Amino acid sequence: MNRAATEPNDGRTQARVDSWVWAVRLFKTRSAAAAACRGGHVRVNGVTAKPAQPVRPGDEIRIRNSGVERIVVVERVITKRVGAPIAAQCLIDRSPPPPPKEVLAALPQRDRGTGRPTKRERRETDRLLGRTDH
């Protein structure tokens, strides 16, 4: 039997963040995980992570993927991709629940082909979504 399937910890105390988030199925490919790290969409313990940053049990990882933020805590360190039930044992999901459909329907949507939003429209959108510093 495959050792990775029976023992997800595989004796490691740390792993690369891009490898770990791919192994626990938060990204479809490892290259997508590395690209998200390079793009600043992955944070480890509140600090933007590079792909090779090590993660250890107890680290909090925040991932922004497709406009949705996932917050997970490393329970076990793995580097090989495993089945979904085993991957679920390797993390603690502390993500907030998704917003209700009524809230999503109320978000502003741009018509297709209208071009890039103006600075004023971007400020209004940021204000609506609560992303302002003021």
Only one residue has tokens 């909090």, namely 60
Predicted local distance difference test score (pLDDT) of residue 4: 45
Contact 117/60 with Cβ under 8 angstroms? no
Measured in whole angstroms, how far is the alpha carbon of residue 48 from the centre of its chain?
A: 12
74 versus 133: the higher-pLDDT residue is 74
Does residue 134 surpass a pLDDT of 90? Answer: no
Contact 96/109 with Cβ under 8 angstroms? no
Predicted local distance difference test score (pLDDT) of residue 110: 72
Does residue 113 surpass a pLDDT of 60? Answer: yes
Q: Number of helices and strands (H, E) in the chain? A: 6, 7
Main-chain dihedrals φ then ψ at residue 109, nearest 5 degrees: -125, 130
Predicted local distance difference test score (pLDDT) of residue 105: 72
Give the chain's mean pLDDT.
86
Does residue 10 surpass a pLDDT of 60? Answer: no
C-alpha to C-alpha distances, 43 to 69, 100, 105, 120, nearest whole angstrom: 11, 26, 29, 29
Predicted local distance difference test score (pLDDT) of residue 8: 52
Does residue 132 surpass a pLDDT of 60? Answer: yes
pLDDT band for 26, please (50, 70, 90 cuts).
Answer: very high
